C-alpha cells in the first residue's frame, strides 16, 4: 500500500499545485484553458511522437497481448458510449465518457508501477498498452467527437468537415508521424531528441496542474449538468476500476488463453485509474469537464485500494 501511495502522491501534489495557484490568484481564470492548450498543441504531441518513433517493432509486436488489452478497452468504451447515448448524451460527450471508463493512466502511473511490481520484463507490454491508449483509443474518441460536433449537416459535409478537423489535429498527426519514423528507421538527431524529451516531459505535469486549476474555478454549471451528478461519476468510476480489469481478465485468460504472467500484466494495466487524456479533450473541445475531473480524481484515489487488493489476491508471477 505504501509503495502505491508513493506512485500516486506526486499526481495529487501536482493537482494541488494547480488548485493553490488558482485560489491564490497566482494564475488567473484563463489559465485552465491556456495550460491545457499548451498540453494539447505542444507537449502531448511531442510525447506521442517520441513514444511511437522510439519504439522497437519487436518489442511492441505482441499480437495476443495487443488483442487482449485492446479488446478490454474497446469493450468498456463501446459499452459506456452506448449506455450514455441511451441516457440522452450526445455523441461527443458520450465519447468523452467512454474515455473516462476505459482510458487507463498507463503512461504516468503504468511504467513506475509495473517496474516496481513486475520489473524490466514488463516494460514492453506497458509500452504497447500506452500506445493503444494514448494513440489508438484517443484517436477513436477524437473521430467520434468530431462527428458528434458536425451532427445535423449532410453526410458528405460531415465527412468532409471531420476529415479537415482530423487532418489539423496535433494529437493524431504526431503519432502518425512517429509511426512513419518508426517504419522508416528515422532517428531524431540529438538536439531534436532533447527537444522532444523536454517538451514531452511537460505533458503529464501540465495536464494535472490544469486539472487542479479547473477544480479551483468558480464551478459554473456545465452543459448537461443533469447527467453529470455523483451517481453518474460513481458509475464511471466503477466501470474503470472494476469492469475494465474484469473484462480484460475474461478476454486475456478464459477467451484467449494467454500465459498467466501476461494475463496478470494486462489486468494490472487495465486496473489503473483514468488518465488526464479525457479531461484534456473535454477542455480542448469546450465540452463538460467537471464530470471528467471527478472521475480522474476519484479513480486515482480509489486505485490505491483496488490495485492493492488485486495485487494481494493475484500475487502475479513474474513475466
Residue 223: pLDDT band (50, 70, 90) is: very low
The pLDDT of residue 141 = 92
pLDDT in tens, 15-63: 899 999 999 999 998 898 899 889 889 998 898 888 888 878 877 788 9
Residue 7: pLDDT band (50, 70, 90) is: low
**C-alpha R_g of the chain:** 19
pLDDT in tens, 225-284: 445 567 889 999 999 999 999 999 999 999 999 999 999 999 999 999 998 889 888 888
The pLDDT of residue 319 = 47
Render the burial of 33-64: b for 16+ CB within 10 Å, e for the rest.
eebbebbbebbbbbbbbbbbbebeeeebebee
Q: How far apart are CA 319 and CA 114, in angstroms?
A: 10
Indicate the domain borders of the chain: 2-314
Q: Identify the bridge partners of residue 104 per DSSP, sorted by sequence position.
A: 274
Q: Of 272, 261, 274, which Cα lies nearest the Cα of 314?
A: 261
Q: Of 89, 95, 98, 102, which Cα lies nearest the Cα of 225?
A: 89
The pLDDT of residue 47 = 85
The C-alpha angle 182, 106, 295, rounded to 5 degrees, equals 135
Per-residue cell: 102: 476505459
pLDDT in tens, 117-132: 888 788 888 888 988 9
CATH code for the part of the protein at 2-314: 1.20.1530.20
Per-residue cell: 165: 478537423
Residue 218 clears pLDDT 60, i.e. is over it:
no
Task: Note whether 116 and 259 are within 8 A (CB).
Answer: no
pLDDT in tens, 131-184: 899 888 988 998 899 888 876 667 777 777 777 777 777 877 888 899 899 889
Task: Note whether 215 and 15 are within 8 A (CB).
Answer: yes
Burial label, 282 (beta-carbon count in 10 A; 0-12, 13-18, 19+) = buried
Q: Is the pTM of this model over 0.95?
A: no
The pLDDT of residue 22 = 92
Q: How far apart are CA 98 and CA 303, in angstroms?
A: 19
Collapsing DSSP to helix, strand or coil, 316 comes out as coil
Residue 221: pLDDT band (50, 70, 90) is: very low
From 2-6, 101-105, 206-210, the region with the lowest mean pLDDT: 2-6
Per-residue cell: 287: 465540452
Distances (CA, A) of 317 to 122, 257, 314: 11, 16, 9
Give the containing element (helix H, strand E) for 25. Answer: none
Mean pLDDT of 77-102: 95
Q: How far apart are CA 314 and CA 104, in angstroms?
A: 19
Q: How far apart are CA 105 and CA 33, in angstroms?
A: 21
Residue 11: pLDDT band (50, 70, 90) is: confident
Q: Residue written as cell 503512461?
A: 107
The pLDDT of residue 8 = 67
Per-residue cell: 95: 465519447
Amino acid at each position: 500500500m505504501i509503495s502505491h501511495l508513493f506512485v500516486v502522491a506526486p499526481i495529487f501534489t501536482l493537482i494541488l499545485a494547480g488548485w493553490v495557484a488558482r485560489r491564490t490568484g497566482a494564475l488567473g481564470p484563463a489559465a485552465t484553458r491556456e495550460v491545457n492548450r499548451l498540453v494539447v498543441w505542444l507537449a502531448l504531441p511531442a510525447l506521442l511522437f517520441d513514444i511511437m518513433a522510439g519504439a522497437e517493432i519487436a518489442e511492441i509486436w505482441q499480437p495476443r497481448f495487443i488483442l487482449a488489452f485492446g479488446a478490454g478497452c474497446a469493450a468498456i468504451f463501446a459499452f459506456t458510449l452506448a449506455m450514455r447515448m441511451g441516457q440522452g448524451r450526445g455523441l461527443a460527450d458520450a465519447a468523452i465518457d467512454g474515455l473516462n471508463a476505459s482510458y487507463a493512466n498507463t503512461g504516468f502511473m503504468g511504467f513506475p508501477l509495473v517496474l516496481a511490481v513486475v520489473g524490466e520484463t514488463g516494460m514492453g507490454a506497458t509500452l504497447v498498452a500506452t500506445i493503444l491508449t494514448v494513440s489508438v483509443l484517443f484517436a477513436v474518441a477524437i473521430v467520434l467527437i468530431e462527428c458528434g460536433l458536425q451532427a445535423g449537416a449532410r453526410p458528405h459535409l460531415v465527412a468532409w468537415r471531420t476529415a479537415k478537423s482530423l487532418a489539423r489535429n496535433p494529437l493524431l498527426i504526431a503519432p502518425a508521424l512517429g509511426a512513419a519514423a518508426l517504419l522508416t528507421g528515422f532517428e531524431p538527431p540529438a538536439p531534436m531528441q532533447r527537444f522532444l524529451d523536454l517538451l514531452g516531459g511537460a505533458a503529464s505535469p501540465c495536464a494535472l496542474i490544469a486539472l487542479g486549476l479547473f477544480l479551483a474555478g468558480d464551478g459554473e454549471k456545465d452543459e448537461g449538468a443533469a447527467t453529470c451528478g455523483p451517481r453518474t461519476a460513481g458509475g464511471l468510476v466503477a466501470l474503470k476500476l472494476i469492469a475494465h480489469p474484469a473484462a480484460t481478465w475474461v478476454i486475456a485468460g478464459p477467451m484467449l488463453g494467454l500465459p498467466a504472467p501476461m494475463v496478470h500484466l494486462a489486468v494490472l494495466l487495465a486496473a489503473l485509474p483514468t488518465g488526464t487524456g479525457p479531461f484534456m479533450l473535454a477542455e480542448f473541445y469546450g465540452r463538460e469537464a467537471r464530470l471528467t475531473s471527478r472521475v480522474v480524481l476519484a479513480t486515482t484515489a480509489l486505485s490505491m485500494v483496488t490495485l492493492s487488493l488485486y495485487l494481494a489476491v493475484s500475487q502475479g508471477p513474474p513475466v
